């Protein structure tokens, strides 16, 4: 990891020390075509041999058909179901020559969430053992055999992605199927997605495709559509896994303006160093004054 903690970064793999790395790979999740089938969740669990959910996770949660609820150590993909009641235009007439009253319509927003593989990843910055590493593909991976379970990464992630398993205390999260990438294969979740809601490929190409898709949705009247995590100038330097949303990020449980939590570390260390220097100088002056007094 280099010394860049915030701002745009053209090549994260080169910054991490790789020479002539491949193109940065990532996810573009188009929630407008997600059907909530959970194929991505199942494929992720099967390929990565994640522990099966406990009995509580198989029960109804009261959150529509969402029984995973959130990302965690054993759930690296999470399909959210958000039910909304929205007004729809009233019909031209009600049969008696009078304008019809507006009615509410149910809309389901479905979105498959995942680790964002941030350009500036706070989890990687704070890891004391080197368990978190940047791969040649630009993704961020936890080496479970190096993790000591300190949980610094858990508290540092601005998205609440990383979690520890109760049985061994180690941290786990999406790896972007690093083993599959090494073999020239796409991640299991993208492979299993029947609607291409989850698209995988070179990040720059995905951003171009996302801009075209967003323009198409706006032209069709879906004015609430927006991209999330695509901008290299945002608070995390852009995400390696970004999304097309149909409503505000908060509706999907995403922070509206995420910022890498280690962004201000250099300034904090400078201030701490200055404060320490002032304290040492003050102590020195106090001792000097005492020794200068008669009988000191």
pLDDT digits (tens, 9 = 90+) for 104-120: 678 889 999 999 999 99
Structure confidence by residue, pLDDT tens digits, 66-116: 888 889 999 999 999 998 887 655 454 444 443 444 456 788 899 999 999
| CB neighbours of residue 198 within 10 Å | 26
Q: Is 173 exposed, middle or buried (0-12, 13-18, 19+ CB in 10 A)?
A: buried
**Would you state the structure tokens that stand for residue 27, as one six-digit string?**
């996810």
Q: Where are the alpha helices (DSSP H) in the chain?
A: 12-15, 39-48, 122-126, 152-156, 178-182, 188-192, 203-219, 265-292
pLDDT at 54: 58
Q: Strand 241-245 to strand 25-30: parallel, antiparallel, or no bridges (unpaired)?
A: parallel
- Helix, strand and coil content of the chain, in percent to the nearest 5, comes to 30, 20, 50
Q: Are 98 and 91 in contact (CB under 8 A)?
A: no
pLDDT at 288: 61
pLDDT at 272: 44
Residues of the chain with pLDDT under 70: 1-7, 53-60, 87-104, 263-296
Q: What is the pTM of this model?
A: 0.81
* Cα–Cα distance for residue pair 109/198, rounded to 1 Å: 15
CATH architecture, domain 12-85+104-262: 2-Layer Sandwich (3.30)
* Cα–Cα distance for residue pair 34/57, rounded to 1 Å: 22
Place of tokens 């008669």: 294
**Would you state the structure tokens that stand for residue 44, as one six-digit string?**
């992720």
> Can you count the helices (H) and strands (E) in the chain?
8, 10
Q: Are 252 and 113 in contact (CB under 8 A)?
A: yes
Q: Are 249 and 255 in contact (CB under 8 A)?
A: yes
């Amino acid at each position: 990891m280099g010394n860049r903690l915030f701002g745009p970064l053209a090549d994260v793999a080169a910054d991490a020390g790789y020479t002539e790395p491949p193109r940065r790979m990532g996810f573009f999740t188009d929630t407008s075509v997600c059907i909530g089938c959970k194929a991505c969740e199942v494929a992720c669990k099967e390929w990565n041999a994640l522990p099966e959910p406990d009995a509580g996770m198989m029960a109804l949660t009261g959150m529509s058909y969402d029984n995973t609820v959130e990302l965690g150590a054993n759930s690296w993909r999470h399909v959210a179901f958000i039910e909304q009641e929205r007004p729809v235009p009233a019909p031209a007439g009600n049969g008696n020559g009078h304008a019809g009253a507006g009615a509410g319509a149910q809309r389901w927003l479905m979105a498959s969430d995942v680790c964002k593989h941030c350009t500036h990843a706070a989890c990687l910055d704070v890891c004391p053992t080197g368990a978190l590493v940047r791969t040649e593909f630009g993704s961020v991976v936890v080496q479970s055999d190096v993790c000591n379970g300190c949980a610094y990464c858990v508290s540092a992630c601005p998205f609440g992605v990383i979690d520890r398993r109760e049985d061994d205390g180690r941290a786990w999260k999406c790896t972007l199927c690093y083993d599959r990438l090494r073999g020239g294969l796409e991640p299991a979740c993208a492979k299993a997605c029947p609607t291409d809601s989850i698209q995988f490929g070179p990040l720059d190409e995905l951003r171009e495709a996302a801009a075209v898709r967003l323009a198409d949705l706006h032209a069709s009247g879906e004015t609430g559509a927006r991209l999330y995590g695509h901008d290299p100038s945002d608070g995390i330097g852009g995400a390696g896994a970004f999304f097309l949303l149909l409503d505000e990020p908060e509706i999907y449980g995403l922070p509206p303006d995420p910022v890498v939590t280690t962004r201000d570390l250099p300034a904090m260390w400078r201030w701490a160093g200055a404060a320490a220097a002032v304290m040492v100088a003050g102590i020195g002056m106090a001792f000097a004054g005492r020794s200068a007094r008669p009988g000191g």
